[in-house]
Chain A
Amino acid sequence: MEIGMLPISASKRGKLLAAGYTTLHSIATTSITHLATDIEVSESEALEILNFATRNSALERSSGSNTNVIQGGQTAWDMLNEERFSSSITTSCADLDNILGGGINCKEVTEIGGVPGIGKTQIGIQLAVNVQIPLDYGGLGGKAIYIDTEGSFMVERVLQIAEACIEDMSEYSHHFHKDNQAYGVKMHPNSILENIFYFRVCSYTEQIALVNYLDKFVTEHKDVKIIIIDSVTFHFRQDFEDMALRTRLLGEMSLKLMKLAKNFSLAVVMLNQVTTKHVEGSFQLTLALGDSWSHSCTNRIILYWNGDERHAYIDKSPSLKSASAPYSVTSRGIRNSTSSSKRIKMV
């Protein structure tokens, strides 16, 4: 029933139905005073209901014509033009950037999962540093929000990675701007650390509250270009008796994050843990939080061991091909794998 789509309280909906308003059209064509007397509400409340109803019925009216732009929608052509200029954040590993189409994309939610020790937190920290690479060096010059639910954010490691990043940038500017002295890198590792906003979350309620609050925070800090949640799983794995509730809360959280990514053109990276599931008579590894969660993100990358090498596999993506690339974790951060075997494996 159309009335059910209006974001008003249940009792008001009930009154509308009881007064005979069964379609949005019927509400839209009536006047405020009539509506107010019919369902016995104040005129301001009636105006609010009228606004909701007309907004929805405008959508219906213009669905036929091509020239009217439906409110809130975008044509595919406009999106294509936008995507050409959309930015991505490098992972500092060329092979990984290649299969990702340049890096972790802004305006998208990417989930990265893997066994303990494979390098999830390492990638998270590398991205938090790389988002700050200045525009001159092909980066975004933005800031990062790091949401730590497990306490795995170690400042010593961030410093190591930040220092290595600055060294790499100096080397790059030496190569390409040998004659031009003005291209010396002026960044200091401390300024990189200062641009990482850190939140330590100790329960699932704090996690949900923080995701709600991020809208306001990012409005006040418009240069944030990446939000990393490490890990999204931890607090939802313990003491949740009602699994259906968990699914609903996780669903709402991921919708809010997608909205953030789209509205503010930033990247959202969620790190996930693994669990085992029983499939066709044997146990297999899979990412945690269940099957419904696996629909919640735009892209899904699984980190795994292939022999002695770390690999990343694109498990799910609307635009990227399923491929796997090797990477390594060094003292300087995430880098290309040093093995000389054939690089990218198309699956």
Chain B
Amino acid sequence: MANKLINQLGLPKSIANIFAARNIITAKAALSLTEFELMELLDVGMTEVTFAMAHISEVVCPPCQTALLLMEQRVRNESLAGHLPTRLKGLDEALCGGIPFGVLTELVGPPGIGKTQFCLKLSLLASLPVNCGGLEGRVIYIDVESKFSSKRLIEIGTKSFPEIFHKKGMAQEMAGRIMILRPTSLSEFAESLHRIKVSLLQQQVKLLIIDSMAALVLGEHDSGASRQQALGWHVSFIKSLAEFSRIPIVLTNQVRSQIGDESLMYSFQARSHSTKEDTPVTFDSHLVAALGINWAHAVTIRLVLESKSGQRFIKLAKSPISPPLAFPFNITASGIVLLDDNGIEMKGPEINNIHCQGLSLRFLVIRSVECILSEHKNFFGKIKP
């Protein structure tokens, strides 16, 4: 929209020529200057500038809809008004039907907790025929750490949907709808995103999974501004992809340890805090999601997977449509299974903390080694999970 050429916007010839003479060709270039700067640059009066900018703005500005229109469109055109059911009853209820279309859903947790298992199950669910509760579409699975296991996928399928998978040729058809890409660098990933955008509508892609986002970004840049900028661009692009195609996009993220004992505060809090007595320092070590606070703002739904006292939980840490619930779960042959559909309501910012207590040490060591090895996969060759 913003890249429209000024001479095609229907402005009176005289003013359009003045813009062109000063090398302001696109609407974006005109809108990237304040009106005062334009007045100086184009050497015209304020009234002309205001008139021209009002005209350009009206053309570039996005169309107006009403909330009612949005709802009706979704109810009419999309399955379950725009949700992909996860088949986990409690979670689906909390999410008003399932993973929502058009927004980013993040899965974050320590290694080995079950993020990839969840992603495998989701890819299967999206490829199922509509009469079985699926989206009957293709899935693009971006597998950065080479964790995708087609054997495990088929196992989940046969155990969860035996009536479908035992039919001849169904397993092949389901698995045939899942396309796996393995970019080795952030720039390769960006390229594949562009290609994905083109084929999204043509190829009936109904789900995009990026496993994991953290591995892509953290491997490349040194920490700081350049990483934030690269991440920022990719996040914007993925978000616009989600919206324009109205598909669910699921991304996984890693964890890192909490820096320091105190959580960050605002300046007005710091002032009142210093007058109170020192609160006892807690030794509850926990982790936080990687990729920073910008990323935390950018995702719409954040599902935290953690292990507390040996029991795994999946928590709705950030969701505009759900209460803050935590569901205990286990991983079985048929994928993730909730132990309680009611969920425990969690109060406060506690829901954002990620615990890693009780996962068997041996299991953790194996998974961590796999993560390290996959980063150096060029050296060690392809690793089978």
Contacts and interface: CB of A to CB of B under 8 A. Distances in A.
Interface of A: 7-12, 48, 115-117, 121-122, 146, 150-160, 190, 193-203, 205-206, 208-210, 212-213, 215-217, 231, 234-235, 237-239, 245, 248-249, 251-252, 273-276, 279, 283-286, 302, 304-305, 307-309, 313, 315, 322, 331, 347
Q: Which of A197, A201, A208, A313 has the largest number of chain B CB atoms within 10 A?
A: A208
Given A195-B66, A284-B264, A9 B45 contact: yes
Interface string B162-181: 00000000000000000000
B274 to A, nearest CB: 11
Contacts of B47: 7
B297 A273 contact: yes
Contact of A285 (B56, B57, B266, B297): B266
Instruction: Tell me whether chain A's interface is mostly helix, strand or loop, or mixed.
Output: mixed
In this complex, the member of B45, B74, B323 whose beta carbon has the largest number of chain A beta carbons within 10 angstroms is B45
Contact of B71 (A122, A193, A305): A193
B342 to A, nearest CB: 15
B60 A205 contact: yes
26 contacts: A7-B45, A116-B293, A152-B103, A157-B320, A193-B66, A193-B71, A198-B70, A199-B61, A203-B28, A205-B27, A205-B60, A209-B31, A209-B57, A209-B59, A212-B54, A212-B61, A248-B34, A252-B34, A274-B297, A279-B267, A284-B270, A285-B266, A286-B267, A302-B266, A305-B348, A322-B268
A239 B232 contact: yes
B46 interface: yes
Residue among A160, A194, A198 with the highest chain B CB neighbour number at 10 A: A198
B240 interface: yes
B45 A213 contact: no
Kindly state the interface size class of chain B when it binds its partner: 35 or more
B16 interface: no
Given A122-B320, A194-B67, A206 B348 contact: no
Interface in B257-282: 264-270, 272
Contacts of A11: 43
A275 B57 CA distance: 30
Given A152-B300, A196-B68, A284-B264, 10 more contacts: A155-B70, A197-B64, A199-B64, A206-B60, A212-B53, A216-B54, A238-B233, A252-B36, A274-B293, A276-B293
Contacts of A146: 67
B67 A196 contact: yes
A196 B66 contact: yes
A311 to B, nearest CB: 10
B268 A217 contact: no
A195 B235 CA distance: 31
A120 to B, nearest CB: 10
Given A155-B74, A206-B60, A117 B318 contact: yes
B237 to A, nearest CB: 10
Given A10-B43, A206-B1, A206-B62, A286 B318 contact: no
A208 B60 CA distance: 10
Given A116-B318, A203-B2, A238 B236 contact: yes
